[in-house]
């Protein structure tokens, strides 16, 4: 029973991610859904479910971290340019 519920919760998480407007929120929900799917995959002994969701989770986390690093770099460049003056 709990296994069936876990699969449906993972499905709901993943499907709901498409309703988020911010890319960061979408990736966060997709990463959480991937974790739920990984747990589900281990429970049903399904390597394809585990591996595919590892890839989704890693991609979601990587792109989120990459975006954060890019934003921090841009902010630092903006501050450096503003402090250098005319």
User: From first to last of its 86 residues, what are the pLDDT tens digits of the chain?
Assistant: 899 999 999 999 999 988 988 888 888 899 999 999 999 999 999 999 999 999 999 998 999 888 888 888 888 888 877 766 55
For residues 38 and 54, the answer to whether their CB atoms sit within 8 Å is yes
pTM: 0.77
Measured CA to CA, the distance from residue 77 to residue 86 in angstroms comes to 16
pLDDT of the residue at 11: 94
pLDDT value for 86:
59
Model pLDDT, residue 76: 83
pLDDT confidence of residue 84: 61
């Amino acid at each position: 029973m709990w296994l069936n519920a876990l699969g449906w919760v993972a499905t709901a998480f993943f499907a709901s991610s498409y309703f988020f407007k911010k890319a960061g929120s979408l990736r966060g929900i997709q990463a959480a859904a991937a974790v739920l799917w990984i747990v589900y995959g281990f429970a049903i002994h399904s390597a394809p479910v585990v591996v595919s969701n590892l890839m989704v989770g890693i991609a979601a986390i990587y792109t989120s971290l990459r975006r954060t690093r890019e934003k921090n770099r841009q902010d630092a460049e903006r501050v450096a340019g503003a402090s250098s003056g005319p």
